[in-house]
Amino acid sequence: MAEGITTRDRQARFATYAGFAIQGLCFASLVTQVPQIQKTHHLSDATLSLVLLMVPLIAGLGSVLSGFLFARVGSGPVLRVAQPGVAVTIILIGLTGDNDPALYGAVALFGLFVGAVDASMNAQAVAVERRYGVSLITGFYAIWSVAGIAGGLWASLSNKLDLSLLTGFAIAAVIGLAASLVTGRRLYRRDEEGDGPTAAELKAAGRHVPWRPILVVGAAMAVAYLADSAISSYGAKYLDDELAGSDWIAPLGYVAYQVAMVISRAVADLGVRRSGAVQVVRLGGLVGIIGMIGVVAAPNAALAIAAFAVAGLGLSVIAPVAFSAAGRVDPTGLGVAVARVNIFNYVGFVLGAAVVGAIAPVSDTHGLRLAFIVPTVLILVVFFTAKGFAPAPVPGTRVNVPVAERPTA
């Protein structure tokens, strides 16, 4: 670990952990209730697919817009504004009742704030990792998954207690809102994220960050998030509709997925330090494919839930290692590379929502099972791009290189 870690650095690290936790809680509280939202609004499968597709499309816009704001105000202020916005919009979704236009508007706002939060919290995580000088990124994602487990379990319990969507969403959102307001002021400011870049560096930030290494890791990240989109958006519906799971069982597939992610991400940083990012990503891709094959082949809800867990073990490492790789090719320290990589998050989610939504109606009894085949096959892309997860740092980039990736004398 780098020397000179200050109390300010520890505060920023804690606040970033909180940011990931809040996002995980709010996101899980919403996506695990997709079947309930569909029933409340009497949405057809086709309409539901369009609603789910709206989130990543608009979130991509939010991520891009936040990237422009980073150079002007820093990622910390963006996160402090956008994260409470996510919590508030979840409450708005619960307030829509059976008003479909209001639902579409609230979902659009949710997507916009989610995109801004995703980009800014990852930029903060990369800044913390740069200060500490060791791989920390998967630890932040582990916190996201822990909070996601809490959100999924809360959704299951609220369904068991027959609470309204508004009540379930409001309780989770109020917790997230309070935590965000308390911890947000401890995030890094713009001058702290990049060690005070000059005006010239700010203006030329976009030109200083190369696109080629971003595209390589972005391709792997897109297919990982395509699978993640299928699981998070349609996993509960798959258990509910095709595998005869009850309302309270349906959210548990996502919970199992996130539990496995916590386990994997708890050791992934150590794996990166010892074996290097390339080996960790390759192993993650292999385990992810095995899990997705299990999802496709599952004859009942119990085995599908177990398969979701196996998929989570593998897929969980790809995104955080991708963000870390992006930090190694960003000489400005402004989070420009992180914002660019984050776009592929939404490319994957858009493709996931579009592909699953298009294939699912093909069969009344096996539509989602057939749809899950697509992300299963596409995970192979991870193996072809794995070497890109250990890019040579761009000159001027302040970043730690894991021991396993350092050249020998």
User: Does the pLDDT of residue 119 top 90, yes or no?
Assistant: no
Give the residue-averaged pLDDT of 30-46: 88
Give the residue-averaged pLDDT of 387-402: 64
Task: Please say whether the beta carbons of 145 and 254 come within 8 A.
Answer: no
Average pLDDT in the chain? 85
User: Does the pLDDT of residue 340 top 90, yes or no?
Assistant: no
Instruction: Write the pLDDT tens digit of every residue in 162-172.
Output: 899 999 999 99
- Reported as a pLDDT band with limits 50, 70 and 90, residue 199 is very low
- Model pTM score: 0.76
The C-alpha atoms of residue 398 and residue 333 are separated, in whole angstroms, by 8
Residue 23's alpha-carbon distances to 18, 134, 135, 148, 371, in angstroms, are: 9, 24, 21, 8, 27
Task: Please say whether the beta carbons of 62 and 112 come within 8 A.
Answer: yes
Give the per-residue pLDDT at 132.
87
The C-alpha atoms of residue 343 and residue 337 are separated, in whole angstroms, by 10
Letter for the amino acid at 26? Answer: C
User: Does the pLDDT of residue 366 top 80, yes or no?
Assistant: no
Instruction: Write the pLDDT tens digit of every residue in 225-240.
Output: 999 988 988 888 888 8
Give the per-residue pLDDT at 205.
60
Give the per-residue pLDDT at 408.
31
- Reported as a pLDDT band with limits 50, 70 and 90, residue 354 is confident
The CA angle 307-310-312, to the nearest 5 degrees, is: 110
The more confident residue out of 362 and 143 is 143
Q: Where are the domains of the chain?
A: 7-395
Structure tokens at 166: 């508004």
Give the per-residue pLDDT at 251.
86
- Reported as a pLDDT band with limits 50, 70 and 90, residue 204 is low
Write down the CATH superfamily of domain 7-395. MFS general substrate transporter like domains (1.20.1250.20)
User: Does the pLDDT of residue 120 top 80, yes or no?
Assistant: yes
- Reported as a pLDDT band with limits 50, 70 and 90, residue 3 is low
Task: Please say whether the beta carbons of 74 and 81 come within 8 A.
Answer: no
The C-alpha atoms of residue 18 and residue 8 are separated, in whole angstroms, by 15
User: Does the pLDDT of residue 206 top 90, yes or no?
Assistant: no
Give the per-residue pLDDT at 316.
87
Instruction: Write the pLDDT tens digit of every residue in 73-94.
Output: 888 999 999 999 999 999 999 9
Structure tokens at 356: 């699953």
Structure tokens at 133: 């000088």
- Reported as a pLDDT band with limits 50, 70 and 90, residue 401 is very low
Give the per-residue pLDDT at 345.
78
Instruction: Report percent pLDDT > 70 for the chain.
Output: 89
Over 125-192, what HEC string results?
Answer: HHHHHHHHCCCCHHHHHHHHHHHHHHHHHHHHHHHHCCCCHHHHHHHHHHHHHHHHHHHHHHCCCHHH
Radius of gyration of the chain (CA): 20
Give the per-residue pLDDT at 195.
46
User: Does the pLDDT of residue 110 top 90, yes or no?
Assistant: yes
- Reported as a pLDDT band with limits 50, 70 and 90, residue 149 is very high
The C-alpha atoms of residue 320 and residue 138 are separated, in whole angstroms, by 5
Task: Please say whether the beta carbons of 117 and 230 come within 8 A.
Answer: no
Q: Concatenated DSSP letters for 15-82?
A: HHHHHHHHHHHHHHHHHTTHHHHHHHHT--HHHHHHHHHHHHHHHHHHHHHHHHHHHHH-HHHHHHHH
The C-alpha atoms of residue 287 and residue 298 are separated, in whole angstroms, by 16
Half-sphere exposure of 39 (CA within 13 A, CB side): 11
Give the per-residue pLDDT at 406.
37
User: Does the pLDDT of residue 197 top 60, yes or no?
Assistant: no
